[in-house]
Every structure is written in structure tokens, then in C-alpha cells.
Amino acid sequence: MKKAKIHVMLKEGVLDPQGKAAHKSLESLGYKGIEGVRIGKYIEVTLADDADGDRDKLVREMCQRLLSNPVIENYEIEWEK
Amino acid sequence: MKFGIVVFPGSNCDHDCYHAVKHVLGQEAAFIWHANPDLNGCDALIVPGGFSYGDYLRAGAMAAISPALTEIKAFVKRGNPVIGICNGFQILLESGILPGAMIRNKDLRFICKDTFLRVENNNSKFTNKFNDKKLISLPIAHAEGSYYADAEELKRLEGEGRVLFRYADKEGNVSNDTNPNGSLLNIAGILNKEGNALGMMPHPERSMESIVGNEDGRLIFESMIEAVS
């Protein structure tokens, strides 16, 4: 558990004007049958080998305190070994 | 009365705020650098607009965890008035002093224009000088001014009279057509539960003198002065 790969996405129900704009643009390129486009952020946090404690808990705390805004965003963490 | 104006790296409306309260209204004013915030002697605080920390991650996110915010939270808790304008509003949201969050404007554009605001509550620390004035005009200048809160929070804000300003037309009508940025319920400014912290996207400090065409912003700072005295 060295590198945390974090996806931050706007919650369902929160307007995503970037996603909507990309959706429209894809349709104007001729792509049909798109149900929706949502745009989020991708963040990598690499922990030092000697970082103490529960690494997953630590990165979750980082997500809640800074990397995401829990009012409007959800996050998911995936670990690279 | 002494206004403290909190300055972050990237603040750019700090000098306008200083001019507004010091030179236009004749009050004491001091800049407060975010990294060593000494609020001693301040009766009220202004968190000014700009692009603190380059809007990295989310507008206001970095500023919200700076040492100044610890002091500002305590200052709010002691009941003193604090106004966050534009990026200052975003900072108050990110720090949890005010509920909700800002997302990108609905059309993705940075909007810089005059707006009409319907005054929803003229009995606050920031609107007590409005008397019967129900409509003011102030400019907005932002890309992330679309206010979001969940349904429960919105209901609470409405029920407690904490929505202070709403985007309107020149007759004071509020509708989708008068909503510049997609803000829920056309919200332009809200209060905390205790009524001593205001966040607003429009810029009162830019409408202080008739020479610039509009003095409506004065009422907000004059109300703060009234509230403190």
C-alpha cells in the first residue's frame, strides 16, 4: 500500500456543467447513444515507506479533510502495491 | 470601529475592501496576513475576493485550512461580524463556517457583470441600514458561484431567514431567467445560524461611491458598523 489512486466525483444530483458540455460536444461530433458524461478529478498520493499507522484510514481522512468536499463530492480509493 | 481584512496569497480585492471601509466610510482598517493572524482590536472581519492559492483543488479549499481560519472560526464563535465576499464566501463554505458548497457556473463562463439583488431579510447585522430598500444592484465576478446545498439544508436556510440576497431582475422578480450562474434558489448570499457571518458572491466593495455609478455596497458595511456600535 504505497500509492493511493483517488477518484473524486461530484455526487449524483449535483449539476456537472463540465460533464454536460462534454456530452453535448460528443454529440456534435456525431456520437449517438450517450446517456451521460460526468467529469471528476484523479489524485495520486504516494506514502513514504515509513509512514505510520493505518494507511487506508489515513488517506480517507485526507480525502475528507481536503482532497474532496463531502458536501458535493464522493471519493474512491484504489491502492497500488 | 476597526475592520480586519484577511489576506491570502492570491487575494486581489483586499485593497478595494480597505479603500471602502477606510477612505469611503472613515473607519480603521488593517490587513491581516493569513499566516500570522492577529485579530486583536478588530471589531469585524472581511474575507475578500480573489483567487487564494490559485483556486487549486477547489476555490477556497487551501485557504480554508490556513492558520487564519482557526482564528476566524473563534472570532465568529465570539459573535463578531464576518463578511466573506466572492472567494471569501467560498472560503467560509470550505471551512464549514457556512453550510453548502460552490460549483462551476452553469454555463462554465467567468461572469463579470452588474446584478440586481432582492434583499430577503433587512433585520440582520449586514442589512439593518437597508430600511425599506428591497432591491440593490452589485457586480458579480466569478466562475464558481453556483451555490449548492442539499434539500434539507436549503429548507433550513429558508426557514430561518438566512438567505439574505437572491439574484433578481430590476423589478425584484426572482426566476430562472434572473439566475446568472445556476445557484440553487437564486442564492447570492447566506448567513450562518447565529447571524454574524455572511457569505455573498456579489462585490459590495466595488459599489461604494457615486463616481463609479453605484453606492449600494455602502449599506452592507454601514449595517456592520451599526451592528458593532
CATH number, domain with residue A43: 3.30.1280.10
Q: Chain-centre distance of CA B60, in angstroms?
A: 13
Give B144-190 pLDDT, tens digit per residue: 999 999 999 999 999 999 999 999 999 999 999 999 999 999 999 99
Burial of B220 (0-12, 13-18, 19+ CB in 10 A): buried
Which residue in this structure is represented by grid cell 422578480? B173
Distance CA B166, CA B168 (A): 6
Under the banding of pLDDT at 50, 70 and 90, the label for residue A50 is: confident
**Mean pLDDT of the residues in chain B:** 97
Distance CA B229, CA B44 (A): 11
Report, as residue numbers or ranges, the catalytic residues of B.
Answer: 86, 203, 205
Nearest to B104 among A17, A69, A71 (CB): A17
Q: What's residue B28's pLDDT?
A: 98
Write phi, then psi, for B38 (nearest 5 degrees): -110, 105
Q: Do B58 and A15 touch (CB under 8 A)?
A: no
Q: Are strands B2-7 and B44-47 parallel, antiparallel or unpaired?
A: parallel
Distance from CA of A23 to the nearest CA of B (A): 14
Distance CA B52, CA B63 (A): 6
Under the banding of pLDDT at 50, 70 and 90, the label for residue A1 is: confident
DSSP-assigned states of every residue in B124-180: STTTTT-TT--EEEEEEEES--EEE--HHHHHHHHHTT-EEEEEE-TT---SGGG-S
Q: Do B104 and A10 touch (CB under 8 A)?
A: no
Q: Do B65 and A21 touch (CB under 8 A)?
A: no
Q: Do B106 and A15 touch (CB under 8 A)?
A: yes
Average pLDDT estimate for B113-134: 95
Give B192-222 pLDDT, tens digit per residue: 999 999 999 999 999 999 999 999 999 999 9
Q: What's residue B191's pLDDT?
A: 98
Which residue in this structure is represented by grid cell 463556517? B97
DSSP-derived letter for residue B218 is H
Distance from CA of A58 to the nearest CA of B (A): 17
Range of the domain at A22: 3-80
Q: Does A10 contact chain B (CB < 8 Å)? A: yes
Percent of chain A with pLDDT over 90: 90
Under the banding of pLDDT at 50, 70 and 90, the label for residue B132 is: confident
Domain spans of chain B? 2-228
Q: Does A69 contact chain B (CB < 8 Å)? A: yes
Q: What's residue B186's pLDDT?
A: 98
pLDDT reading at A41 higher than 80: yes
Under the banding of pLDDT at 50, 70 and 90, the label for residue A53 is: confident
Under the banding of pLDDT at 50, 70 and 90, the label for residue B134 is: very high
Give B20-58 pLDDT, tens digit per residue: 999 999 999 999 999 999 998 999 999 999 999 999 999
Q: Does A67 contact chain B (CB < 8 Å)? A: yes
Distance CA A5, CA B118 (A): 45
Burial of B2 (0-12, 13-18, 19+ CB in 10 A): middle
Task: Indicate the number of domains in chain A.
Answer: 1
ipTM of the complex: 0.88
Q: In 10 A of CB A76, how many CB atoms?
A: 12
Q: Does A15 contact chain B (CB < 8 Å)? A: yes
On the CB side of B91, how many CA atoms lie within 13 Å of its CA?
35
Q: Do A17 and B106 touch (CB under 8 A)?
A: yes
Q: Could you tell me if A16 and A39 are in contact, meaning their C-beta atoms sit under 8 angstroms apart? A: yes
Q: Please state which of the four CATH numbers 3.40.50.880, 3.30.2310.20, 3.40.640.10, 3.40.50.720 is assigned to the domain occupying B2-228.
A: 3.40.50.880
pLDDT reading at A35 higher than 80: yes
Give B72-100 pLDDT, tens digit per residue: 999 999 999 999 999 999 999 999 999 99
Which residue in this structure is represented by grid cell 475528507? A64
Q: Could you tell me if B153 and B104 are in contact, meaning their C-beta atoms sit under 8 angstroms apart? A: no
Q: Do B106 and A18 touch (CB under 8 A)?
A: no
Closest by Cα among B89, B106, B107 to B98: B89
DSSP-assigned states of every residue in chain A: --EEEEEEEEPTTS--HHHHHHHHHHHHTT----------EEEEEEPPTT--S-HHHHHHHHIIIIIS-TTTEEEEEEEE-
Distance from CA of B160 to the nearest CA of A (A): 20
Taking contacts as CB-CB distances below 8 angstroms, the residues of chain A near B182 are 15, 17
Which of B56, B58, B142 is the best residue to mutate to test the A interface, defined by the most A CB atoms within 10 Å of its own CB? B58
Q: Could you tell me if B64 and B21 are in contact, meaning their C-beta atoms sit under 8 angstroms apart? A: no
pLDDT reading at A37 higher than 80: yes
